[in-house]
Amino acid sequence: MTLDIETPALLFSATSLILLAYTNRFLTIAQIVRGLKKTYDQDHSKSILLQIKNLNLRLSLIRFMQLFGVLCLFLSVFAMFCLFFELQMIGIYLFAASLLTLLVSLGISFWEISISVTALRLHLSDLMEEKTEKK
């Protein structure tokens, strides 16, 4: 099996966009946590504390998503470097490792999204209960 130097380069645009999306998620959640912290300082509500705990878990997952995304990019560059110097087998293994780290990053992303969806469903179920009680 041979690997051209252009093949690992294909991951650059995809990985860069994924990292940008991860960073945007991180910044949005961080802003929500700051707002909830202000609200918690005033109310000391247990539900707000649970929301902050959930968001903290999501922030940790996003950090790992970013870590594995950056590692994917690093391994791709290193694979290209090896291929440039005609170290074919090392380049192939590094490229395979970069694909694996990308899969891990995407898997953690799926986990974080499912946590987000579950939290939103709980939030909406409270709304639906209030609506049913009013009728």
pLDDT at residue number 135: 63
In b/e form, how buried is each residue of 12-40, taking b as 16+ CB within 10 angstroms? Answer: eeebeebbeebeebbeebeeebeebeeeb
pLDDT in tens, the chain (135 residues): 888 988 888 888 899 999 999 999 999 999 999 999 999 999 888 888 989 999 999 999 999 999 999 999 999 999 999 999 999 999 999 999 999 999 999 999 999 999 999 888 877 877 777 667 776
